[in-house]
Structure 1
Amino acid sequence: MIKKGDTIVNARTGQKMTFLETWAETNGTQLKIDCVSPASSQKEKSHVHPYQENRFTVSKGQLLFTTDGKEHLASVGDVISIPKNIPHSFYNADQADAHYIQEFFPALKTDSLFETFFVLERENKLNKRGTPNVFRTALILLNFKNEIRLAHPNWKLQKITFKLLAPFAKLMGYKAFYE
């Protein structure tokens, strides 16, 4: 379980997250993370947070956001606020590390979601794009359905597919979250 002050590092991307406030410290109202993202050419998959606002405050470097199909370059001092259920992705397209504060309102289980992906990366259980196999994905995205969903295909189709795959994933020994 992630606690205030914990730092996790993604072995593949070098992304570092230090948790400043977790759901436990804020009674679930907020998650606040101090993040550093090295330069990268890999964009994350477009996704939505169906019940959360996601806010970024850039303190060093730049981040390139795609929000609802529109690109926006955020630089030092910029605050990007992404309302709930809006498709988005971001990455550091600059040469220097990007340093930013990322916040989620409400927190939900987003800290556990990040921990799950960083543990899977550390254990070499993600592909080159940072994605688990389809069976692990099914369990993880069903478990974190209130925190994150892929932007495409629509959620109803994802949910049906994931529910069909989940029993096989459990038989394979996969879990819905990792600590």
Structure 2
Amino acid sequence: MVQPGDVIENPVTGERITFVRTSAESGGALAEMDLDLSPSAFLAAEHLHLRQEERFDVVQGRIRLRCRGDESVHGAGESVVVPAGAPHAWAPDGDKGARVRLTFTPGAGIEDFFDEFFRHGREGRTNAKGMPPLLVTARLGLAHDMYLPGPPVPLQRAAFRILTGAARLVHRD
């Protein structure tokens, strides 16, 4: 279980997270973490959080954020909120990396997602884009209501359920 002060890294995507406040600490209301991005950091995939708002408070450097197809750049001292259900992606802007305080509302155990997702990167169990195997992606997507833009969420949810059920049958993920 993730605790405040715990630090995890994903060497594939160039990200490091320091957990500040966990969902358990806030009674599920929110989760806060500091995200350090190397200059070459990237997001594994554009995605959406079906029921979580994600707030980016830029502490250092700049980030480029794409939300619902619109791109913007935000620097130190600026904040931007991605509403629940909005497809988004981000990356550091420039060649110096960035530090961002992320706040997820509600917290909904999102730290468990990052803990497992980053572990796959550290263990070399992702593709070059940082994505873990499809069965893991399906299980994490269902557990955290996180989906890809494009295909309708109900269709993705049904496919994820089939994949996770098949994984349980063959004891793989």
**Range of TM-score over shorter length:** over 0.9
Gaps of 5+ in 1: none
**CA separation in 2, counterparts of 1:141 and 1:72?**
26
Is the CA contact (8 Å cut-off) linking 1:139 and 1:169 kept in structure 2? no
**CA separation in 1, counterparts of 2:86 and 2:121?**
26
- Name the CA shift for 1:14/1:43 in 2 (closer, same or farther; >3 Å): closer
**CA separation in 1, counterparts of 2:107 and 2:128?**
28
Gaps of 5+ in 2: none
The aligned amino acid for 1:71 is E
Alignment of 1:50-69 (within 5 A): 50-69=50-69
Report deviation, 1:4.
0.8
Is the CA contact (8 Å cut-off) linking 1:44 and 1:90 kept in structure 2? no
Is the CA contact (8 Å cut-off) linking 1:44 and 1:91 kept in structure 2? no
Structure-1 residue corresponding to 2:154: 156
**Helix, strand or coil: the match of 2:129?**
coil
State whether structure 2 residue 45 is matched by structure 1 residue 32. no
Report deviation, 1:171.
3.7
Report deviation, 1:162.
1.5
Is the CA contact (8 Å cut-off) linking 1:68 and 1:87 kept in structure 2? yes
Give the count of matched residue pairs.
173
Report deviation, 1:167.
2.5
Alignment of 1:47-126 (within 5 A): 47-126=47-126
Report deviation, 1:172.
4.2
Q: Which moved more, 1:12-21 or 1:160-169?
A: 160-169
Structure-2 residue corresponding to 1:174: 172
**Helix, strand or coil: the match of 1:33?**
strand
**CA separation in 2, counterparts of 1:172 and 1:94?**
45
**Helix, strand or coil: the match of 1:115?**
helix
Report deviation, 1:25.
1.2
Q: Which moved more, 1:134-143 or 1:78-87?
A: 134-143
Report deviation, 1:41.
6.8
For the aligned residues, what is the CA RMSD? 1.5
Task: List per-residue Cα deviations over 1:60-117 (Å, max 9, x = no partner).
Answer: 1111000111000111111011111111111113200201101011100100000010
**CA separation in 1, counterparts of 2:34 and 2:42?**
21
**Helix, strand or coil: the match of 2:25?**
helix
Q: Percent identity?
A: 29
Is the CA contact (8 Å cut-off) linking 1:136 and 1:169 kept in structure 2? no
State whether structure 2 residue 46 is matched by structure 1 residue 46. yes
**CA separation in 2, counterparts of 1:25 and 1:162?**
30
More strand by share: 2
**Helix, strand or coil: the match of 2:138?**
helix
Please, what TM-score do these two structures have when normalized by structure 1?
0.90
Please, what TM-score do these two structures have when normalized by structure 2?
0.93
Is the CA contact (8 Å cut-off) linking 2:22 and 2:109 kept in structure 1? no
**Helix, strand or coil: the match of 2:64?**
strand
**CA separation in 2, counterparts of 1:174 and 1:22?**
29
- Name the CA shift for 1:41/1:35 in 2 (closer, same or farther; >3 Å): closer
**Helix, strand or coil: the match of 1:127?**
coil
The aligned amino acid for 1:85 is G
